[in-house]
């Protein structure tokens, strides 16, 4: 099956997994998907403690959506599946200094670790199948980005 707008609209899981369509970007779909998290963050952040419930639901629903879309495409972690980037970056953003520089730094760190996949991210990416595997490597990349932000934030 081909990943196009017809595919994305065919099932709610496909629409979510493809980041509301951002995963169809012809170049750097993971980057496009990560950027989708920014407006979602600004919509959800005012919810206070409910923000974390929304992020937890996004992560859990992402396991299902990424699994359904991956199976339909016959590719475990198709490049257009970007809900993992969106949900994981939503974890990172509250730890960033709430300035333009802070958000740019958070974005750069998250993308660096998501692309580079330092140990143990690459191992988990290769070993854990299905939607959980798709989500897990981005969660670990988010963890690395958060640790870096916590170390750097006092100087920003």
Q: Report how far Cα 130 is from the mean position of its chain's Cα atoms.
A: 15
Q: Using only C-alpha atoms, what is the Rg of the chain? A: 15
Cα end-to-end span (Å), the chain: 47
- The per-residue pLDDT for 153 is 79
The reply to whether omega before 126 is within 30° of 0 (cis) is: no
- pTM for this model (two decimals): 0.95
42 C-beta neighbours (distance < 10 Å), count: 10
pLDDT in tens, 97-156: 999 999 999 999 999 999 999 999 999 988 999 999 999 999 999 999 999 999 987 887
Dist CA 28 CA 38 (whole Å): 17
């Amino acid at each position: 099956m081909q990943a196009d707008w017809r595919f994305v609209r065919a099932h709610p899981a496909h629409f979510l997994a493809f980041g509301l369509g951002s995963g169809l970007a012809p170049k750097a779909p993971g980057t496009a998907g990560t950027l989708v998290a920014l407006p979602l963050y600004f919509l959800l952040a005012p919810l206070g403690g409910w923000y974390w419930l929304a992020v937890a639901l996004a992560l859990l629903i992402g396991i299902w959506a990424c699994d359904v879309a991956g199976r339909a495409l016959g590719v475990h972690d198709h490049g257009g599946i970007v809900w993992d980037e969106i949900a994981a970056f939503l974890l990172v953003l509250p730890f960033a200094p709430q300035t333009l520089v802070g958000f740019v730094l958070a974005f750069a760190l998250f993308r660096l670790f998501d692309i580079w996949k330092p140990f143990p991210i690459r191992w988990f990416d290769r070993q854990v199948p299905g939607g959980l595997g798709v989500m897990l490597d981005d969660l670990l990349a988010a963890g690395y980005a958060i640790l870096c932000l916590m170390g750097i934030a006092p100087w920003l």
